[in-house]
Structure 1
């Protein structure tokens, strides 16, 4: 048997149908004449579905791949080389959009008239979608790194996330305000991690933790012999953060003298080390924060007005936890998972009465206090669930104004459940029974999150 298809063209049909790629021919009017088995596998269209039909058959709302073929054949002088390595989309029979890499060669009669065209196409869909997924995962990973500690879905936190993204897209000087424990440094880290400076240093300095006599040297550096104990040159935080981001927390505690020196750095983009007259250029993105009222400090003369306006260009106010109570279950779940992994403890959740007390507490120390409460609970917890007795005494026993206001009003009469709600309640009860009360496993069976399951258990007054 002759196996050379050039010598025996009759075996070409077998070769073509064996190929993973799709192969087709069209006539001069763009109607399909031949359609290979590979083309059938890729598109779902059998040869009988397409032969004699115009090639626009495979077009969809966003899929104009074969339209280019029809346009090429209708052109007064189509390109002799045809279409080479053209990425486009076509519509599969089931409606899916397929990404293909196509090659088409125009066929002519002996007198030069167009007879039609022959083409092949490779299915790139899995590769394209995989690359898109990788890009999405990389972006999510960057966002998750940037916002991993700033947990929340409340409207207040959505505004914070929005302003963080706006700040990250600019190189503007940012001022982060908020009470102690609201996460000001985390917000600064998020801005840096989302910004073009993400691969450069992020340096955080708590200005109130450094004595005034040392703060100038810490920020700007010093040269050898600048003062007693300066036995060698030392770079400051501005130089250490060059090309990156410098976060100055508790900026309200900085003296007017240091404020003036930092004002010059912002204006001139250069520093002078202690004991050195030579200016050194720096390229630093500055983010400052405080829990103090800077406007009042300006009015009292404790804070320079010109420096205030230099650092207060774009403000990101962080809400206290008492103003976003809906985020408490998310934060509790986040810290439980974090500490369970870090301490290798099988803690998976928190009892309903303990969670209710967490929701009622006013959290004067904000998220930092809540995290400390969970950390306290991990010292005493026995088993999988944090109980009310595991919480710190000030959280467990204190009656907050929030709780008092709620207690003053009579509880509303529960509304009767709809049939759909009764069915959902029963499914939750069955899932809890099947998992022995393990809410994590029950949530997995119900294909929902633990926080959502906890809310529904509370809503439907399910015991256990």
Structure 2
């Protein structure tokens, strides 16, 4: 049975997740703070960790960073409120497998947990294949060593959704222009906007399309492991190097290496990377043999590398090596003409994954999608559709299956624009009442103020209803009744 560690400062959440997951044949241990969670992970050696982003002693970011330093291949699911979607997207850059938004739905949890564990096992099997290949071919040529990586190309991502808008057309004109060359490319774009998919598309349209496409998330790997991941190491080269490891450069030999969030690499690794880029040769850590490389490098960043170079975070000479061609991937909020095309594609793939037959979206849902700002971009859209498809019981995805923040985006945005607007409306209430035929009643004003107070407290506590009830000085039943009254 697979083991799961749940870390959440709410005892109720820990209890419910343990009971639910245990009934589905998982061994579950729980902790209510980050310190105890880390100790539990060390003692239990779980197959998966689920953690709330907001913990009492540390943040989910700190917990995730520590876990990834100790056990980089351990999948971590972040539990967060939908108002923290930007935080969740940033945490995924640090190596989280996925995020689950509150309120929690059992079916969604089970699907995500099983997929995370299955993907981790699949990666582990592939790594064992590569290690076995390295062990049995230590005297082989460089070309022979790189052969196992070619199996990765068959598992690479499917073609990118092109889109019909002018923005998409201009984007893929650039892809078509640079793909046949061997230029290094820098791809800029917000988190979740599809930078890796664009890199994959460049590879697919290049002369290297039948060779490996290997991706490395530089933001999800600790400084200590980055060198070994990039260049590999020989058996016994350092403590813990129990066998020879093939690095990403060798795995990508003949093909394309994609380095996501490249600015997160340490200065020492940047120095080593510059030498490899210049000479097209490398040595494994602890090795003496020079390995010839024929690798096209594509890098991505959500911050300007030249700005990072000027601030001393990124080597300027390395930036100019990479900057042979630049592509800007637009944010989803700027691609509204393509949004429903993306949504339809994600719905199709989700139907296949979940064995569902949802055919489309209601008009209300389409309007909600078009009005929403999508801070998490395509990744957020994909997750929203997966969740909504899972919850849908009809042919169309309806509003009831969408997260609260998307359906109520306009209303919440108006709340964010307060208190200036609120103060103005209250101070001018008497004056407007004298001149307006539809004078507000005292009851309607009180209801509006009560709604605003409940919403503000719910958002402040990340929609934790127990905490909200305590702050409002009412019991949970009264809070639920109020939420029902105001259709929250």
Question: What is the TM-score when the length of structure 1 is the normalising length?
Answer: 0.54
- Provide the C-alpha distance between the structure 2 equivalents of 1:260 and 1:366, rounded to a whole number of angstroms: 33
- Provide the C-alpha distance between the structure 2 equivalents of 1:249 and 1:377, rounded to a whole number of angstroms: 29
Residues 335-371 of structure 1 show CA distances to partners (whole Å, capped at 9, x for unaligned) of: 1222122222121011001110100000010111111
The correspondence for 1:283, drawn from 294, 316, 331, is: 294
Matched, 1:231 2:231: no
Pairwise CA distance, 1:276: 1.9
- Provide the C-alpha distance between the structure 2 equivalents of 1:147 and 1:187, rounded to a whole number of angstroms: 11
Higher share of residues assigned helix: 2
The runs of 4+ residues in structure 1 deviating greater than 6 Å are: 400-404
- Provide the C-alpha distance between the structure 1 equivalents of 2:304 and 2:411, rounded to a whole number of angstroms: 25
CA contact (8 A) 1:218 1:236 kept: yes
Matched, 1:303 2:324: no
The correspondence for 1:160, drawn from 151, 162, 171, is: 171
- Provide the C-alpha distance between the structure 2 equivalents of 1:333 and 1:400, rounded to a whole number of angstroms: 26
Pairwise CA distance, 1:231: 2.2
* Shift in alpha-carbon separation, 1:186–1:234, aligned structure 2, 3 A: same
- Provide the C-alpha distance between the structure 2 equivalents of 1:219 and 1:150, rounded to a whole number of angstroms: 30
- Other-structure match for 2:389: 378
Residues 365-419 of structure 1 show CA distances to partners (whole Å, capped at 9, x for unaligned) of: 0111111111110121111011111111121112289999xxxxxxxxxxxxxxx
CA contact (8 A) 1:251 1:289 kept: yes
The correspondence for 2:262, drawn from 239, 251, 256, is: 251
* Shift in alpha-carbon separation, 1:391–1:267, aligned structure 2, 3 A: same
Pairwise CA distance, 1:234: 1.8
Pairwise CA distance, 1:325: 0.7
- Other-structure match for 1:198: 209
- Other-structure match for 1:177: 188
- Provide the C-alpha distance between the structure 2 equivalents of 1:214 and 1:397, rounded to a whole number of angstroms: 43
- Provide the C-alpha distance between the structure 2 equivalents of 1:345 and 1:224, rounded to a whole number of angstroms: 48
- Provide the C-alpha distance between the structure 1 equivalents of 2:374 and 2:319, rounded to a whole number of angstroms: 30
CA contact (8 A) 1:150 1:186 kept: no
Unaligned runs of 5+ in 2: 1-155, 416-488
- Provide the C-alpha distance between the structure 1 equivalents of 2:346 and 2:251, rounded to a whole number of angstroms: 32
- Provide the C-alpha distance between the structure 2 equivalents of 1:229 and 1:273, rounded to a whole number of angstroms: 15
Pairwise CA distance, 1:267: 0.7
CA contact (8 A) 1:361 1:400 kept: no
- Provide the C-alpha distance between the structure 1 equivalents of 2:195 and 2:408, rounded to a whole number of angstroms: 29
CA contact (8 A) 1:151 1:330 kept: no
Matched, 1:215 2:226: yes
Compute the RMSD of aligned alpha carbons.
Answer: 2.1
- Other-structure match for 2:325: 314
Question: What is the TM-score when the length of structure 2 is the normalising length?
Answer: 0.51
Structure 1 counterpart SS, 2:410: coil
Unaligned runs of 5+ in 1: 1-144, 405-464
Structure 2 matches for 1:9-158, cutoff 5 A? Answer: 148-158=159-169
CA contact (8 A) 2:361 2:398 kept: yes
- Provide the C-alpha distance between the structure 1 equivalents of 2:330 and 2:236, rounded to a whole number of angstroms: 46
* Shift in alpha-carbon separation, 1:155–1:240, aligned structure 2, 3 A: same
Structure 2 counterpart SS, 1:235: coil
Greater mean alpha carbon deviation, residues 226-235 or residues 346-355: 226-235
Residues 223-274 of structure 1 show CA distances to partners (whole Å, capped at 9, x for unaligned) of: 1221011122222110111001110111010111111111111110001211
Structure number with greater Rg is 1
Aligned pair count reads: 261
CA contact (8 A) 1:146 1:191 kept: no
